[in-house]
Amino acid sequence: MAPPNPNAQRYSPTMMWDSTPLFQFGDMQEIIQNFVRVHVDAPGMEEGAPVFPLGYQYPSLDQLADMIPCILQYLNFSTIIGIGVGAGAYILSRYALNHQDTVEGLVLINIDPNAKGWMDWAAHKLTGLTSSISEMILGHLFSQEELSGNSELIQKYRNIITQAPNLDNIELYWNSYNNRRDLNFERGGDITLKCPVMLVVGDQAPHEDAVVECNSKLDPTQTSFLKMADSGGQPQLTQPGKLTEAFKYFLQGMGYMASSCMTRLSRSRTASLTSAASIDGSRSRSRTLSQSSESGTLPSGPPGHTMEVSC
């Protein structure tokens, strides 16, 4: 948790799961100054963590979500804004389904809310016979184009994973993720996220289809979908500036940081927005807007609008 800034207005705590690099980005400092940050590591994932003994039963993702209330109670937090990547996005979503009143908003990067089907399991088992655990994790994190390019970022993460002293722990966490249950989101049903949600994925990322499907199942009046161009599988690493700006817009939509200055997304080459707004209190319509780089800031619709942005 970041130390409080006595000269800044304090907003709701922000709980992060696997998103630390994003909050190290320079443009995030404005947010850091106004929110209390809490970074949560899954068991055995923290720096310097000892390797679990042979036969250790690693918690399921559902069990990890059930640990969050204890963390909030210990820190005396009544509500949070959650930010999670991959497994972290799933865990925060599972928590939000069970504790709606304590979650003000969620930013979910690369979320896959679905359990693995039989075909997925078969492909996973086959891959496990020919690939190491580190290569399977890299294939989960990055697109095939990124892996083929073998950029400095890919080399960095390959070294981090292969040389991790707690690789056995990482494998246990990886197995828990692959054994996740379906979140069973249903648009218009009882099982849904009732807080504002921003879904984020890179175009042509390994998780693109899963995030698109997730978007189709959530409440359109509460959900914004951000598909980021040229960002690969980890947009928080490759496009932190654009993602930071989008996060600020998201916070503004929740009533926070109203005076924050926006520049980056407003100068993006194009932004495609689809919104549904109420008319005369009874009728609704959909509109598609194409915004060029000269058009200024993104339009801010009325409360309860649905926004899809490509940038």
Summarised one tens digit per residue, pLDDT across range 186-220 is: 998 899 999 999 999 998 899 999 999 999 999 99
pLDDT at 47: 86
Distances (CA, A) of 131 to 100, 135, 138, 165: 40, 6, 11, 19
For 57-104, the pLDDT digits (tens) are 999 999 999 999 999 999 888 999 999 999 999 999 999 999 999 999
Domains defined for the chain, CATH in brackets: 17-40+49-258 (3.40.50.1820)
Among 104, 95, 39, residue whose Cα is nearest residue 66: 95
User: Which residues in the chain belong to E strands, given as ranges?
Assistant: 14-17, 37-40, 80-85, 103-109, 197-202, 223-228, 270-279, 283-292, 307-310
pLDDT at 52: 96
pTM of the model: 0.79
Distance between CA atoms of residues 83 and 62, nearest Å = 17
Distances (CA, A) of 234 to 78, 96, 201, 265: 30, 23, 8, 18
Low-confidence residues in the chain, pLDDT < 70? 1-20, 117-131, 259-311
Distance between CA atoms of residues 55 and 40, nearest Å = 24
Q: Dihedral sign, CA of 51, 53, 54, 60?
A: negative
**Are β-strands 307-310 and 283-292 bridged in parallel, bridged antiparallel, or unpaired?**
unpaired
